[in-house]
Amino acid sequence: MEDFSTLLRNDTLIQSNPYRIITYNNKNIIVIPNSGAWIIGGHIVLSLLDKCKIPIPYMDIKNIFPNANIQDIIETLYYSGIILLDDKCSTDQIVAEEKYKSLEVAPRLLVLKYTNHCNLRCSYCYAYKEETFNDNLNYKDIETAVKLISDSYGKNITVVFHGGEPLLRFKDMKHDVISLLDKFPDIQFSIQTNGTLMNDEISVFLKKHKISIGVSIDGIDEISNSLRCFTGGLTSCNKTLDGIKCLFKHNNQPSASIVMTKKNKDDILITMQRLFEIGIRHFVVLDYFPAGRGKEGKDHLALNLEENIAVRRDILLFINDHNAKQTDSKNLITERRSIQLMKKIVYWRSLYMCSESPCGAGRRMLALGADGNLYPCDEFISNDKEFVIDHVSNITNLADSLKNSKVVQKCYAHRIENISKCSKCVWRNICEFHCAGNSFYFNGSLNQPSSLCEYFHRMIPMTMELLYEERINPKNIL
């Protein structure tokens, strides 16, 4: 960081960035909508910003505020991205880098709908498609897709085995992983599993090939995990917990994916604590998604606004308080949505493709359906084929296909400036969720805000207040 004294001279012109003032719990949050910069300020700060709406020399500012420690205030406002010094803003480089990221097209994440079959019948499963329930993705289509990505966008590709339940095809998976590694040695693998089929052989294989593992589990008892059942209605909880323990037995480090519903909302923290005690350190707490079987349960399973905010706030505080006590970094807990929110609020950065605008669909990721059709995102895999780019076997140059695809162009157009409500929103560059799939499934159109719009209008200032009051520390969340 440059020496601030070299930036602030008597003739330095000071100007406030175009700002908005949001009043929250009797506090004034000054927000720069174009960058996401913010600060909570009192009377002197507001008065200073008002005087600086047009450029004014620092000497004049000192004369206007002779009794205030004005240099320290200006330094804080400058490094917070609230004011400009000689037309220079501390956030300029970050804003430019984030803009570049949002324009970059380089999908290196490939999600495989490896099978549509599953040994569970989760009540809210967004991936469930009855008409194609036994489809399996073949190796030839996978290899073709990986080669297309590699040829157009280079190496360092991540392939995710998804389902259904991918471990129902473990024998095929072993072949596919080894064969792909032989042709693409830089490839990385990940798997999302319900964990109920885990055994020593599978766990050893996953460890040997450095396959990242996400385990889906909503609770640690029959009630909190009641929506994740076998075909006969028995809960999968104990089998999943046994699977997690088997993974740790062979030195794997799985993460846990938890879907919030009215069934488990009161037990989220208990579940995280119990899973931590088993060895889980990273969590992804997901919102209910109204697709597949989930279409039928939206009204009685999805959390309302107040419930969602309360749970997310509790998660932030739980993680902060837990991590603040740790002396060993191996015992730190992280949760992806909490990290994304903190990155946006504190550092104006996007952590993950879902927090970029447009989102990563077709830009940073692609999905391959069990039938070999290529999609911009796995959430768009559906029977009506509305979001099919093409069958992977018909594509010769992936970059050209994405450039010319109307489906992909629709996803690219799902961005802040093209959505009226979003383009005018004070929180538009702090909101950490720009999922095209969410807009489509909740609103029937990509040209709509996220279903979490009102949630962020409440959650963002609440989190800012927690930071301002030092109730949470970013270092404990990130």
- H helix intervals, 154-267: 170-183, 200-208, 237-249
Read off the pLDDT of each residue in 324-348 and give the average, rounded to a whole number: 94
pLDDT range class, residue 294, cuts 50, 70, 90: low
Read off the pLDDT of each residue in 431-460 and give the average, rounded to a whole number: 89
Task: Centre a 10 Å sphere on the Cβ of residue 441 and count the other Cβ atoms it contains.
Answer: 21
Residue entry with tokens 């037309």: 87
**Rg (Cα) of the chain, in Å, rounded?**
24
pLDDT range class, residue 422, cuts 50, 70, 90: very high
Percent of the chain with pLDDT over 70: 96
Predicted structure pTM score = 0.91
Instruction: Please tell me the predicted confidence (pLDDT) of residue 157.
Output: 96
How does pLDDT run across 19-43, given as a tens digit for each residue?
999 999 999 999 999 999 999 999 9
Instruction: Please tell me the predicted confidence (pLDDT) of residue 158.
Output: 97
Average pLDDT of the residues of the chain: 92
Q: What angle do CA 345, 95, 99 make, to 5 degrees?
A: 110
Is 64 a residue whose pLDDT tops 60?
yes
Read off the pLDDT of each residue in 325-340 and give the average, rounded to a whole number: 95
Strand partners, 111: 160, 367
When comparing pLDDT for 385 and 146, which is higher? Answer: 146
How does pLDDT run across 120-139, given as a tens digit for each residue?
988 888 766 554 455 899 99
Instruction: Please tell me the predicted confidence (pLDDT) of residue 131.
Output: 46
Is 448 a residue whose pLDDT tops 70?
yes
Strand partners, 110: 159, 366
Question: What is the rounded CA–CA span in Å between residue 311 and residue 303?
Answer: 10
Instruction: Please tell me the predicted confidence (pLDDT) of residue 335.
Output: 97
Outline where DSSP puts E strands in 339-415.
Answer: 365-368, 373-375, 390-391
Read off the pLDDT of each residue in 318-335 and give the average, rounded to a whole number: 97
Instruction: Please tell me the predicted confidence (pLDDT) of residue 49.
Output: 96
Instruction: Please tell me the predicted confidence (pLDDT) of residue 355.
Output: 85
